[in-house]
């Protein structure tokens, strides 16, 4: 089996390369070969490689930057997934695509299900929703996996930022009124492998949109506390933490207050479930040692 993966240097793509080893030939392309802002380049690469499965792990993920470059965000997050879906349908193969909690406005008091109406607050969320809609419009076989608060041991993410800042600072103010589930890119990759194996074995659930995050919930403040606990256990001094409101830390893009996603449909349809966010964090940190 040939698996074409976009977004070579991204958090999820790096984990996919580790966790999909042995499933088949992995064709992992970065921006130099597969620029997601160039539709004709996307079509040319898919037709050149003729894969059996496409995984779109590439995206414009700079949430605040997207506010000032909407055209690029929509090209990469909105148009490109539709092009990939059209090419996948033409080949008669599935597409796996990753989306985000940012398609919701965060006003719901309970975790969001796949049946809830999206209402993105900013350019990033709107562009990701446009990508979901373009994939659905193509009419092929697809899995859209919405995740949240993704971190890993590489790239730019909240975990690495806090691991750097906590020992450096004496005090850190962290937002405490946004709630979600920090999700390790390794968990996303492991779950993706499980989904592919079910499909290969003829045990696939229904195609469509699913939520895929770690279990449990916390705030950015709570996530920082957990990161600090790991650093303290390693003998490092950490900053004193102060919880603050979102309004105390203004950003160019609005964030959902509630980023919790209900992942029960994925467990029910595909028999793939996720670990608690703390268990996944422990596993991720263990890889750094």
SS3 letters across the chain: CEEEEECCCCHHHHHHHHHCCCCCEEEEECCCCCCCCCHHHHHHHHHHHCCCEEEECCCCCCHHHHCCCHHHHHHHHHHHHHHHHHHHHHHCCCEEEEEEHHHCCCCCCCCECCCCCCCCCCHHHHHHHHHHHHHHHHCCCEEEEEECCEECCCCCCHHHHHHHHHHHCCEEEEECCCEECCEEHHHHHHHHHHHHHHHHCCCCCCCEEEECCCECCEEHHHHHHHHHHHHHHCCCCCCEEEEECHHHCCCCCCCCCECCECCHHHHHHHCCCCCEHHHHHHHHHHHHC
Catalytic residue among 102, 112, 124, 151: 124
Query: Backbone phi, then psi, for 159, in 5-degree steps?
Result: -60, -50
Q: Is 112 labeled as catalytic in the residue annotation? A: no
Residues serving a catalytic function are 124
């Amino acid at each position: 089996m040939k698996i074409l993966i976009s977004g070579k240097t991204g958090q999820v793509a790096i984990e996919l390369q580790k966790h999909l080893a042995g499933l088949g030939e992995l064709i992992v392309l970065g921006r130099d070969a597969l620029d997601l802002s160039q539709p004709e380049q996307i079509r040319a690469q898919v037709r050149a490689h003729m894969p059996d499965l496409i995984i779109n792990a590439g995206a414009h993920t700079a949430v605040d930057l997207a506010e000032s470059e909407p055209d690029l965000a929509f090209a990469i997050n909105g148009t490109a997934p539709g092009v990939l879906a059209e090419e996948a349908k033409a080949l008669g193969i599935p597409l796996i695509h990753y989306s985000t909690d940012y398609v919701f406005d965060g006003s719901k008091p309970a975790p969001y299900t796949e049946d809830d109406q999206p209402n993105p607050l900013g350019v990033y969320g709107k562009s990701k929703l446009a990508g979901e809609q373009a994939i659905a419009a193509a009419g092929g076989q697809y899995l859209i996996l919405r995740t949240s608060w993704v971190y890993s041991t590489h790239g730019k993410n909240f975990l690495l930022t806090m691991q750097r800042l906590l020992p450096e600072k004496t005090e850190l103010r962290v937002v405490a009124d946004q709630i979600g589930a920090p999700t390790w890119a390794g968990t996303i990759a492991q779950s993706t492998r499980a989904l592919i194996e079910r499909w290969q074995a003829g045990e696939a659930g229904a195609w469509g949109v699913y939520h895929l995050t770690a279990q449990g919930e916390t705030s950015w403040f709570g996530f920082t506390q957990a990161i600090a606990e790991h650093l303290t256990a390693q003998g490092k001094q950490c900053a004193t933490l102060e919880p603050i409101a979102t309004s105390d830390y203004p950003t160019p893009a609005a964030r959902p207050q509630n980023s919790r996603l209900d992942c029960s449909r994925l467990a029910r349809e595909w028999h793939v479930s996720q670990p608690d966010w703390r268990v996944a964090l422990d596993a991720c940190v263990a890889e750094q040692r």
